[in-house]
Amino acid sequence: MKSTPALLAILGALLFTVGCEVHVVRHEGQPPPPPPPPCRTCNGSGATSCATCGTKGVVMVSVNCSACAGAGAVNCGSCKGAGAFACAKCEGSGEAMEVGVGKVLKVKVQCNKCQGHGRLACGACAAKGKIGCSPCGGSGKVAQQAKCHACNGSGRTVCATCKGAKH
């Protein structure tokens, strides 16, 4: 990197020289043809920012949620989608054998765990058997980034006014 200041000095000298020459030529009455004015739409750049993606080159698209296949809900993992469990106490019969304290008598009574239904509502899914899909928030759709087709991902489109000619 020792040569950098020297290089800069040479470059500076060159630019200075060129600048002087242009100056001299103009004074000799041979002005170069004036350049055409730059395109006002694109400011002479030949391109404008993509209106579709706002120069980002990517757009958000809505796609079916892969977790729930677009349904917005998935089977409850606790009850396997049934919405209820068979009551473990009465094994689904709704009746339980109660043994009275100090008595040998056995009576069939309504199972107090399931109120005789034989099934217990699944608390995880409020007995619906389905729970809202969390990746998509129950909407069945998720936003995904995709390349902007309008600008092919560049974020810029060819200026419509000058067709990229810049003037």
Q: Which of 113, 121, 132, 141 binds Zn ion (CB under 5 A)?
A: 113
Q: How many CA atoms lie within 13 A of 127 on its CB side?
A: 4
Question: Structure tokens of 88?
Answer: 């473990």
Question: Applying CB under 5 A, does 68 fall inside the site for Zn ion?
Answer: yes
Among the residue ranges 12-20, 28-36, 52-60, 99-107, the one whose residues contact Zn ion (CB under 5 A):
52-60
Question: Applying CB under 5 A, does 130 fall inside the site for Zn ion?
Answer: no
List, as one string, the DSSP characters of 15-64.
Answer: HHHHHHHHHHHHHTT-PPPPPPPPPTTTTTSSEEE-TTTTTSSEEEEEEE
CA–CA separation, 130 and 67 (whole Å):
13
Question: Applying CB under 5 A, does 151 fall inside the site for Zn ion?
Answer: yes
Burial 15-34 (b: 16+ CB within 10 A, else e): eeeeeeeeeeeeeeeeeeee
**Rounded least distance, CB 118 to Zn ion, Å:** 6
Question: Applying CB under 5 A, does 121 fall inside the site for Zn ion?
Answer: no
Q: Which of 75, 85, 89, 121 binds Zn ion (CB under 5 A)?
A: 89
Of 55, 34, 52, 36, nearest to 44 by C-alpha is 36
Question: Applying CB under 5 A, does 124 fall inside the site for Zn ion?
Answer: yes
Give whole-number Cα distances, 166 to 15, 34, 135, 153, in Å: 26, 15, 47, 21
Among the residue ranges 7-15, 24-32, 99-107, 119-127, the one whose residues contact Zn ion (CB under 5 A):
119-127
Among the residue ranges 3-11, 25-33, 97-105, 157-165, the one whose residues contact Zn ion (CB under 5 A):
157-165
Q: Which of 15, 63, 146, 162 binds Zn ion (CB under 5 A)?
A: 162
Residue type for position 144: Q
**Rounded least distance, CB 133 to Zn ion, Å:** 3
Q: In this complex, which beta carbon is closest to Zn ion, that of residue 26 or of residue 167?
A: 167
Question: Applying CB under 5 A, does 111 fall inside the site for Zn ion?
Answer: yes
